[in-house]
């Protein structure tokens, strides 16, 4: 009796795609080597004979375009786009689709390209992908894609408690959205984190420690309910000096302090002189920060939703949905979270979803309520800061 042969198992799709992209990269390297070898074999031209530089330039340019096109087509293959639905003219690729792929799918398909040196990929809007390779730009146009939808609402997401370690900071900074980061003073990575985030274009706040009502230690450099207002102002000055590029301040804990008007008046006097705005984390319903900010004439905003009081993916996703619903009702909303593993993981998944659904993620300074002018004059508008 003949033994039945077991059917060969098909390789996973991801393995196939990785192999295809690998072959394309190898092909480009081979083409480049051939170009260099050909140019060397040509050698110097004889005297009196014009060097056909224009011809060589044309051949090299055409070869490079062909190699780059292979990479782009390989990524479109990963999206499941049939070859007959793709047309190329120069460095413009027209893709005919019945329904445009989601931005997250496109980003995943073109991720191998971003790993190559000197290559950048960005989604201008649902119908246009822009790729830069070798100093040249490729436009991938999805012709069946709907035009970019109007923004339905805006949210700001502040990540508090930055400064303890760098790993979550790097992951959060890699999320393609304008998250805001609030940095604690007197921590091992206070200044490193602030500088790292600034280089990546993220907005930075000082997360000023303040006494709460629960007896929990607010950390070094804290302001207490018993702190004299003048001393509180001095502590705030020191904290601000520790966080480079901070454009505003929000409170870490603080339910015992933000209810004391003389202390908040002293703190907001400092913020006014330094042209910094304030975000009330709203840890107590007895907060006097809004009134004190109005009296001081500084831009002000307050938290709407805490996103991660419970470290659970489903809970955090639900709170982000609550933030979205709040924004759809009011036009905008502010959420606060922390660099916990579950929070980072959930933000990596949920922020792209928000953007796809027309919820714009903005810097918190955009949502700060700004008084008209500053002490009778218009204050300068800084990069990432609220207009005063």
- DSSP assignments along 115-130, one per residue: TSTT-EEEEEETTEEE
pLDDT value at 324 more than 60: yes
pLDDT computed for residue 275 by the predictor = 95
Q: What is the pLDDT of residues 46-102, one digit of tens each?
A: 444 544 555 545 554 567 778 888 888 888 888 888 888 888 888 888 898 877 778
Lowest mean pLDDT among 111-115, 327-331, 371-375: 371-375
pLDDT band at 36 (very low <50, low <70, confident <90, very high): very low
Q: Which of 107, 130, 70, 18 is nearest to 356 (CA)?
A: 107
pLDDT computed for residue 124 by the predictor = 77
pLDDT computed for residue 22 by the predictor = 56
pLDDT computed for residue 386 by the predictor = 40
Lowest mean pLDDT among 2-6, 230-234, 319-323: 2-6
pLDDT value at 374 more than 80: no
Q: What is the pLDDT of residues 237-251, one digit of tens each?
A: 999 999 999 999 999
Domains of the chain are 60-147 (3.30.460), 153-367 (3.20.20.370)
pLDDT computed for residue 74 by the predictor = 87
Asked whether 340 and 313 are in contact (CB, 8 A), the reply is no
Partners of 302 in the β-ladder: 280
């Amino acid at each position: 009796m003949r033994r039945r042969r077991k059917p060969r198992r098909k390789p996973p799709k991801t393995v196939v795609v990785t192999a295809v992209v690998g072959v394309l990269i190898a092909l480009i390297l081979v083409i480049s080597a051939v170009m260099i070898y050909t140019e060397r074999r040509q050698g110097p031209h004889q005297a009196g004979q014009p060097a056909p530089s224009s011809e060589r330039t044309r051949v090299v340019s055409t070869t490079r375009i062909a190699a780059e096109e292979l990479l782009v087509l390989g990524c479109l293959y990963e999206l499941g786009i049939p070859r007959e639905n793709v047309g190329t003219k120069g460095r413009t690729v027209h893709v005919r689709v019945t329904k445009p792929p989601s931005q997250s799918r496109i980003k995943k398909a073109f991720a191998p390209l971003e790993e190559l040196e000197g290559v950048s990929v960005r989604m201008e809007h649902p119908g246009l992908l822009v790729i830069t390779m070798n100093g040249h730009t490729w436009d991938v146009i999805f012709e069946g894609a709907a035009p970019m939808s109007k923004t339905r609402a805006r949210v700001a997401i502040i990540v508090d408690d930055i400064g303890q370690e760098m790993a979550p900071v790097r992951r959060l900074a890699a999320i393609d959205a304008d998250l805001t980061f609030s940095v604690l003073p007197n921590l091992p990575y206070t200044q490193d984190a602030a500088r790292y985030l600034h280089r990546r274009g993220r907005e930075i706040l000082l997360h000023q420690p303040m006494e709460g009502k629960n007896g929990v230690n607010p950390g070094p450099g804290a302001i207490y309910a018993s702190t004299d207002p003048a001393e509180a102002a001095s502590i705030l000055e020191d904290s601000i000096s520790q966080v480079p590029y901070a454009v505003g301040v929000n409170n870490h804990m603080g339910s015992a302090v933000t209810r004391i008007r003389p202390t908040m008046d002293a703190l907001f006097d400092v913020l006014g002189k330094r042209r910094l705005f304030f975000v009330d984390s709203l840890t107590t319903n007895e907060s006097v920060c809004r009134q004190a900010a109005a009296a001081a004439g500084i831009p002000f905003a307050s938290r709407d939703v805490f996103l991660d009081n419970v470290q659970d993916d489903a809970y955090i996703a639900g709170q982000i949905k609550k933030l979205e619903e709040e924004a759809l009702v009011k036009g905008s909303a502010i959420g606060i979270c922390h660099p916990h593993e579950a929070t980072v993981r959930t933000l990596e998944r949920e922020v792209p979803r928000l953007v796809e659904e027309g919820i714009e993620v903005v810097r918190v300074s955009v949502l700060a309520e700004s008084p008209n002018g500053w002490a009778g004059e218009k204050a300068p508008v800084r990069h990432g800061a609220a207009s005063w």
